[in-house]
Amino acid sequence: MTLSSPDASRDAVFREAWAYDLAFAWDIDADLQLAARLAEVAPPARVLVPACGTGRYALGLAERGFVVEASDLEPNMVRFARAHRAHPGVAYRVGDMRDDLGDETVDAAFTFCNSFRYLATGEDASRHLQAVRRRLKPRGVYVMELALHPRPPVPPARNGWQVHHEHCLVTALWTVDRVTAEHAFERATISVQPHDQSEPERFVAEQPQRLWTASSLGAAAHAAGFDDLVLFDRTGQVRAGDVTGRYFARLRAGSTPCN
């Protein structure tokens, strides 16, 4: 397990898939269960998981009996998922969620853990929403899990956690150093301290994350051919208005097929 020297380039946190996976090793079962329920599909429905990362959610959906197509822009993430999250019900591939999501119709689509917010421009977000819409069956559902923000945008903030593993302690720190009208500029630091007291490994990445409110997300979804957006909190309750915090957004595709 080696890590390159601290690297402040935009995608470093995703290139080091093994460290990302150690830092995000929490129980996702409740979120998966809720997302699958909100998508209104039953196994063996065919589902899409863009920005699948190390495959945590894709594997969970495959284990529930769904037929999963999962993709990610970062080849290291896809390699890791194939090696550690393999399942006969899931196919992993490298693909850009802006326009490379494949062709066949699917019953539902999912993105988790703020992945949609990595699409930094309105145009990127719109290309992605249209690409998902093209793949969804009429009235099919896209469930995205993301943080929504107030207007004016959030002030700088910090969020950190530690995960204890058998051989190491992983510390993750997410700080928002700068906020503009459209973006939060995040600095992610992941440190891995082996228990044998050898040198800790650490890397840093800076990433712009696009800020969305319920209204701006609803408008973007509508423009891309979704005709309904409903927000749910983590307990599955519907939430109305321009709420702030972490939500599951359910976007329902229009009733006409899309090519």
Ligand X SMILES: C[S@@+](CC[C@H](N)C(=O)[O-])C[C@H]1O[C@@H](n2cnc3c(N)ncnc32)[C@H](O)[C@@H]1O
Calpha distance 57→173 (Å, rounded)? 22
- Residue 181 CB, shortest distance to ligand X, in Å, is 21
Which residue type does 20 have? Y
Angle between helices 56-63 and 29-38 (to 10 degrees): 70
- Span between the terminal Cα atoms of the chain, in Å: 44
CB-facing half-sphere around the CA of 7: CA atoms within 13 A: 12
- Residue 115 CB, shortest distance to ligand X, in Å, is 4
Residue with the shortest CB distance to ligand X: 53
Judged by beta carbon, residue 40 or residue 124, the one nearer ligand X is 124
> Would you tell me which residues interact with ligand X (CB under 6 A)?
14, 24, 50-54, 56-57, 72-74, 77, 96-98, 112-115, 118
Judged by beta carbon, residue 50 or residue 140, the one nearer ligand X is 50
Calpha distance 171→22 (Å, rounded)? 9
Judged by beta carbon, residue 57 or residue 92, the one nearer ligand X is 57
Judged by beta carbon, residue 138 or residue 157, the one nearer ligand X is 157
Calpha distance 125→106 (Å, rounded)? 20
- Residue 58 CB, shortest distance to ligand X, in Å, is 8
Q: Which residues pair with 29 in a beta bridge?
A: none
- Residue 246 CB, shortest distance to ligand X, in Å, is 12
